[in-house]
Amino acid sequence: MLLVAIADDDPQDAALLKGLTEDYFARNGVAVMTHVFPDGLDFIRSSENHDIVFLDIQMKKLDGLETARFLRKIGKDSILIFVTNMAQFAIKGYEVDALDFIIKPATMESITYVLDKAMKRLSASSSATFSLKTASGTISLSENEISYVEVFDHNLVYHTTKGEYTVRGRLSDLTDKLDPERFVMCNRSFIVNLRYVSNVTADYLSVGDTRITISKSHRKELMQRFSSFLGDSL
Protein backbone atom coordinates (compact mmCIF):
# COMPACT_ATOMS: atom_id res chain seq x y z
CA MET A 1 0.00 0.00 0.00
CA LEU A 2 1.27 3.44 -0.95
CA LEU A 3 1.21 6.06 1.82
CA VAL A 4 0.43 9.65 0.78
CA ALA A 5 0.36 12.72 3.03
CA ILE A 6 -1.29 16.07 2.35
CA ALA A 7 -0.37 19.00 4.61
CA ASP A 8 -2.58 22.00 3.84
CA ASP A 9 -4.32 24.44 6.18
CA ASP A 10 -7.13 25.11 3.68
CA PRO A 11 -9.72 22.31 4.13
CA GLN A 12 -11.23 22.83 0.67
CA ASP A 13 -7.87 22.69 -1.09
CA ALA A 14 -6.89 19.61 0.94
CA ALA A 15 -10.17 17.82 0.13
CA LEU A 16 -9.80 18.58 -3.58
CA LEU A 17 -6.22 17.32 -3.61
CA LYS A 18 -7.16 14.17 -1.70
CA GLY A 19 -9.99 13.36 -4.11
CA LEU A 20 -7.88 13.88 -7.23
CA THR A 21 -4.98 11.89 -5.80
CA GLU A 22 -7.15 8.92 -4.86
CA ASP A 23 -8.83 9.04 -8.30
CA TYR A 24 -5.39 8.86 -9.92
CA PHE A 25 -4.31 5.80 -7.96
CA ALA A 26 -7.69 4.09 -8.43
CA ARG A 27 -7.34 4.49 -12.20
CA ASN A 28 -3.84 2.99 -12.02
CA GLY A 29 -4.80 0.09 -9.77
CA VAL A 30 -2.56 1.14 -6.88
CA ALA A 31 -3.70 0.68 -3.27
CA VAL A 32 -3.24 3.93 -1.37
CA MET A 33 -3.84 5.35 2.09
CA THR A 34 -4.06 9.14 2.28
CA HIS A 35 -3.48 11.10 5.49
CA VAL A 36 -4.51 14.77 5.62
CA PHE A 37 -2.86 17.17 8.09
CA PRO A 38 -4.06 20.74 8.81
CA ASP A 39 -0.51 22.10 9.10
CA GLY A 40 3.16 21.16 8.90
CA LEU A 41 3.53 20.76 12.65
CA ASP A 42 0.90 18.03 12.85
CA PHE A 43 2.50 16.32 9.87
CA ILE A 44 6.00 16.10 11.35
CA ARG A 45 4.53 14.73 14.58
CA SER A 46 3.07 11.78 12.71
CA SER A 47 4.90 8.45 12.88
CA GLU A 48 4.12 7.22 9.37
CA ASN A 49 6.85 7.08 6.75
CA HIS A 50 4.97 8.47 3.73
CA ASP A 51 6.04 7.66 0.19
CA ILE A 52 4.66 10.88 -1.32
CA VAL A 53 4.04 14.16 0.51
CA PHE A 54 2.09 17.16 -0.78
CA LEU A 55 3.09 20.31 1.15
CA ASP A 56 1.30 23.63 1.02
CA ILE A 57 4.08 26.22 1.02
CA GLN A 58 2.14 28.86 2.95
CA MET A 59 0.83 27.46 6.24
CA LYS A 60 0.43 29.40 9.48
CA LYS A 61 2.00 27.18 12.16
CA LEU A 62 4.86 25.73 10.12
CA ASP A 63 5.19 26.46 6.43
CA GLY A 64 5.89 23.86 3.77
CA LEU A 65 9.55 24.73 3.27
CA GLU A 66 10.39 24.51 6.99
CA THR A 67 8.45 21.26 7.20
CA ALA A 68 10.44 19.87 4.27
CA ARG A 69 13.76 20.94 5.78
CA PHE A 70 12.89 19.14 9.01
CA LEU A 71 11.89 16.05 7.06
CA ARG A 72 15.26 15.95 5.29
CA LYS A 73 17.18 16.56 8.54
CA ILE A 74 15.73 13.44 10.13
CA GLY A 75 16.62 11.47 7.02
CA LYS A 76 13.22 10.71 5.52
CA ASP A 77 13.40 10.35 1.75
CA SER A 78 9.72 10.92 0.95
CA ILE A 79 8.95 12.33 -2.49
CA LEU A 80 7.99 15.98 -1.94
CA ILE A 81 5.53 17.90 -4.08
CA PHE A 82 4.80 21.51 -3.15
CA VAL A 83 1.39 23.10 -3.52
CA THR A 84 1.19 26.88 -3.88
CA ASN A 85 -0.76 29.87 -5.15
CA MET A 86 2.36 31.51 -6.52
CA ALA A 87 4.96 29.64 -8.56
CA GLN A 88 7.90 31.78 -7.40
CA PHE A 89 7.60 30.37 -3.89
CA ALA A 90 8.14 26.84 -5.17
CA ILE A 91 11.63 27.51 -6.56
CA LYS A 92 13.14 27.09 -3.08
CA GLY A 93 11.74 23.58 -3.08
CA TYR A 94 14.79 22.38 -4.97
CA GLU A 95 16.85 23.06 -1.81
CA VAL A 96 15.07 20.11 -0.21
CA ASP A 97 15.05 17.89 -3.30
CA ALA A 98 11.39 18.47 -4.12
CA LEU A 99 10.18 16.53 -7.13
CA ASP A 100 7.93 19.30 -8.48
CA PHE A 101 5.10 21.67 -7.57
CA ILE A 102 1.51 22.34 -8.59
CA ILE A 103 -0.45 25.57 -8.64
CA LYS A 104 -3.73 25.83 -6.73
CA PRO A 105 -6.38 24.82 -7.37
CA ALA A 106 -5.19 21.33 -8.26
CA THR A 107 -6.55 19.76 -11.43
CA MET A 108 -6.59 16.18 -12.67
CA GLU A 109 -4.09 17.21 -15.34
CA SER A 110 -1.59 18.67 -12.84
CA ILE A 111 -2.02 15.74 -10.43
CA THR A 112 -1.51 13.20 -13.20
CA TYR A 113 1.67 14.96 -14.35
CA VAL A 114 3.34 15.07 -10.92
CA LEU A 115 2.19 11.63 -9.79
CA ASP A 116 3.40 10.02 -13.03
CA LYS A 117 6.82 11.49 -12.21
CA ALA A 118 6.56 10.36 -8.59
CA MET A 119 5.71 6.79 -9.54
CA LYS A 120 8.65 6.64 -11.94
CA ARG A 121 10.98 7.80 -9.16
CA LEU A 122 9.55 5.26 -6.73
CA SER A 123 10.01 2.51 -9.26
CA ALA A 124 13.60 3.56 -9.96
CA SER A 125 14.46 3.83 -6.25
CA SER A 126 14.26 0.11 -5.60
CA SER A 127 17.74 -1.30 -5.04
CA ALA A 128 16.86 -4.84 -6.13
CA THR A 129 16.33 -5.76 -9.76
CA PHE A 130 15.34 -9.20 -10.96
CA SER A 131 15.92 -10.79 -14.34
CA LEU A 132 13.28 -13.41 -15.02
CA LYS A 133 13.88 -15.93 -17.77
CA THR A 134 10.45 -16.65 -19.18
CA ALA A 135 9.35 -18.65 -22.21
CA SER A 136 9.02 -15.42 -24.20
CA GLY A 137 12.36 -13.91 -23.13
CA THR A 138 14.12 -12.22 -20.22
CA ILE A 139 12.14 -9.69 -18.19
CA SER A 140 13.74 -7.11 -15.89
CA LEU A 141 11.74 -6.18 -12.76
CA SER A 142 12.30 -3.95 -9.74
CA GLU A 143 10.90 -4.84 -6.33
CA ASN A 144 8.42 -1.97 -6.58
CA GLU A 145 6.83 -3.55 -9.64
CA ILE A 146 6.03 -6.85 -7.88
CA SER A 147 2.64 -6.96 -6.14
CA TYR A 148 2.79 -10.63 -5.11
CA VAL A 149 4.31 -13.97 -6.05
CA GLU A 150 2.62 -17.37 -5.82
CA VAL A 151 3.70 -20.98 -6.22
CA PHE A 152 1.80 -22.95 -8.83
CA ASP A 153 2.75 -26.43 -10.04
CA HIS A 154 6.43 -26.04 -9.00
CA ASN A 155 6.61 -22.65 -10.73
CA LEU A 156 6.72 -19.09 -9.39
CA VAL A 157 4.09 -16.77 -10.84
CA TYR A 158 5.05 -13.11 -10.52
CA HIS A 159 2.08 -10.73 -10.47
CA THR A 160 3.47 -7.34 -11.42
CA THR A 161 2.52 -3.92 -12.75
CA LYS A 162 3.84 -5.11 -16.13
CA GLY A 163 1.85 -8.35 -16.23
CA GLU A 164 2.15 -11.94 -15.04
CA TYR A 165 5.33 -13.97 -15.53
CA THR A 166 5.93 -17.64 -14.79
CA VAL A 167 9.39 -19.03 -14.08
CA ARG A 168 10.82 -22.11 -12.44
CA GLY A 169 11.82 -21.60 -8.83
CA ARG A 170 11.06 -21.97 -5.14
CA LEU A 171 9.44 -19.39 -2.89
CA SER A 172 11.95 -20.07 -0.11
CA ASP A 173 14.80 -18.97 -2.38
CA LEU A 174 12.97 -15.79 -3.40
CA THR A 175 12.30 -14.60 0.16
CA ASP A 176 16.04 -14.19 0.77
CA LYS A 177 16.28 -11.75 -2.16
CA LEU A 178 13.33 -9.47 -1.33
CA ASP A 179 13.24 -6.53 1.07
CA PRO A 180 11.97 -8.02 4.38
CA GLU A 181 10.39 -4.69 5.38
CA ARG A 182 8.01 -4.77 2.42
CA PHE A 183 7.54 -8.41 1.47
CA VAL A 184 5.91 -10.95 3.77
CA MET A 185 4.58 -14.47 3.43
CA CYS A 186 0.87 -14.90 4.17
CA ASN A 187 0.87 -18.68 3.62
CA ARG A 188 3.29 -21.26 2.24
CA SER A 189 2.31 -20.46 -1.35
CA PHE A 190 2.17 -16.64 -1.42
CA ILE A 191 4.49 -13.75 -0.65
CA VAL A 192 3.07 -10.22 -0.98
CA ASN A 193 4.39 -6.69 -1.34
CA LEU A 194 2.78 -4.69 1.49
CA ARG A 195 2.75 -1.62 -0.76
CA TYR A 196 -0.08 -3.19 -2.77
CA VAL A 197 -2.17 -4.53 0.13
CA SER A 198 -5.44 -2.60 0.42
CA ASN A 199 -7.10 -4.55 3.24
CA VAL A 200 -6.14 -7.03 5.94
CA THR A 201 -8.41 -9.19 8.10
CA ALA A 202 -7.63 -12.09 10.41
CA ASP A 203 -8.23 -14.57 7.58
CA TYR A 204 -7.19 -12.89 4.34
CA LEU A 205 -5.65 -9.83 2.71
CA SER A 206 -6.58 -8.05 -0.50
CA VAL A 207 -4.28 -7.09 -3.35
CA GLY A 208 -6.47 -5.35 -5.89
CA ASP A 209 -9.39 -7.69 -6.58
CA THR A 210 -7.47 -10.73 -5.33
CA ARG A 211 -8.04 -12.19 -1.86
CA ILE A 212 -5.17 -14.21 -0.43
CA THR A 213 -5.67 -16.46 2.59
CA ILE A 214 -3.57 -15.81 5.69
CA SER A 215 -2.53 -19.02 7.43
CA LYS A 216 -2.54 -19.21 11.22
CA SER A 217 1.21 -19.76 11.31
CA HIS A 218 1.86 -16.49 9.43
CA ARG A 219 -0.95 -14.36 10.88
CA LYS A 220 0.89 -12.79 13.83
CA GLU A 221 3.99 -11.85 11.85
CA LEU A 222 1.97 -10.47 8.96
CA MET A 223 -0.14 -8.28 11.23
CA GLN A 224 2.96 -6.95 12.96
CA ARG A 225 4.73 -6.28 9.69
CA PHE A 226 1.70 -4.55 8.15
CA SER A 227 1.33 -2.38 11.25
CA SER A 228 5.03 -1.50 11.15
CA PHE A 229 4.83 -0.71 7.45
CA LEU A 230 2.02 1.77 8.07
CA GLY A 231 3.86 3.25 11.05
CA ASP A 232 0.82 2.94 13.29
CA SER A 233 -1.23 0.35 15.20
CA LEU A 234 -3.88 -1.56 13.34
| Residue 37 belongs to domain with CATH number | 3.40.50.2300
Residues of the chain with pLDDT under 70: 75, 87-95, 124-129, 230-234
Three-state SS annotation for the chain = CEEEEEECCCHHHHHHHHHHHHHHHHHCCCCEEEEEECCHHHHHCCCCCCCEEEEECCCCCCCHHHHHHHHHHCCCCCEEEEEECCHHHHHHHHHHCCCEEEECCCCHHHHHHHHHHHHHHHHHHCCCEEEEEECCEEEEEEHHHEEEEEEECCEEEEEECCCEEEEECCHHHHHCCCCCCCEEEEECCEEEEHHHEEEECCCEEEECCEEEECCHHHHHHHHHHHHHHHCCCC
Q: Is 86 in the same domain as 186?
A: no
Q: Is 170 in the same domain as 200?
A: yes
Spatial contact of 197 and 206, defined as CB atoms under 8 Å apart = yes
pTM above 0.85, yes or no: no
Q: Is 161 in the same domain as 113?
A: no
Q: Is 8 in the same domain as 116?
A: yes
Spatial contact of 6 and 54, defined as CB atoms under 8 Å apart = yes
Last residue of a domain, one of 125, 160, 178: 125
Give the per-residue pLDDT at 221. 87
Give the per-residue pLDDT at 89. 60
Give the tens place of pLDDT for each residue, 169-181. 888 888 878 887 7
CA 182, distance to chain mean position in Å, is 10
List all residues 6 or more positions away from 122 whose beta carbon is below 8 Å from its beta carbon: 51, 52, 79, 144
Give the per-residue pLDDT at 204. 92
Q: CA-CA distance, 147 to 29, in Å (whole number)?
A: 11
| Residue 188 belongs to domain with CATH number | 2.40.50.1020
Give the per-residue pLDDT at 230. 65
Give the per-residue pLDDT at 174. 84
Range of the domain at 61: 2-125
Give the per-residue pLDDT at 91. 62
Tell me, what amino acid is at 210? T
Q: Is 149 in the same domain as 61?
A: no
Q: Is 114 in the same domain as 6?
A: yes
Q: Is 111 in the same domain as 17?
A: yes
Give the per-residue pLDDT at 232. 42
